[in-house]
Amino acid sequence: MLFQKKPNLDWIVAFLGNPGSKYEMTRHNAGFLVGDEFAKAQGVKLDRAKHRALTATCSVAGQKVLLMKPQTFMNLSGDAVSEAMRFYKLPLDRVAVVSDDIHLELGRLRLRPSGSAGGHNGLRDIIDKCGGEGFPRVRVGVGAVPPGWDQADWVLSVFRNQDAEDILRAAARAADALTCLLTRGIDEAMNRFNA
C-alpha cells in the first residue's frame, strides 16, 4: 500500500475577513483585500476550498506558501488556521496573519513578530485555538471608530470615495510588506513598512 506524503510547506498566510459579497470592501475585510493583492502579485487565485478557507499555494523566493482566506467568519478564524497548521505540521511562528486595525489611521501599516489581539476578535480566536500569540502579523489601519458609531457597525461599514482608494493603495503596500516578511524576515519588514 502506498502512502501519500503530505506536501512540504514553509509558511501559512491567513488573510482575515468575512465571506460573502455583503462584506466586500468593508473595513473588517482589509485582510481579504491584501490577500487578493498578494495572490494577484504571485499569479494565483484564492479559489480552492480547503481547511474551511479559500486557498492557493505559491512559491515566494523558493519558499512554499499556503495563502488562505478563512470562510468561517472573522470571529472563528482560528478554526481554519488551526486546521491548516495541524495538516501541514507547521509551528505557530510559521503562520503570518493579515488583519484590519481600528487603532491605526486609514492606510497605515503595523508589522509585529507577535503580540496580543488588541481587541480584534479574529486575532483573539487564532491566539486561543492555535497555541498563543507568537505569530507575525501585518495590521492594516482602517481608521478609528468615529464618535457616535458602534464599533461593530464601523468595522462592517463600506469604504467609500477617497477611503476606498486609500485602502486599495494600502493593500498593495501590505502585500509588499508581506513579501518582505516572508523573504527578508520580520525585522527588516518592520523597519521598512512600519511608518
Say which residue the cell 481579504 belongs to: 32
Distance (Å, whole) CA 45 – CA 67: 9
Phi-psi sector, 7: left (phi>0), alpha (psi -120 to 50), beta = beta
- H helices of 29-185, in order, are 30-42, 77-88, 121-130, 151-155, 161-184
Distance (Å, whole) CA 115 – CA 130: 14
Grid cell of 109 as nine digits: 501599516
Say which residue the cell 480584534 belongs to: 120
Distance (Å, whole) CA 34 – CA 141: 12
Asked about 103 being catalytic, the answer comes back as no
Active-site positions?
28
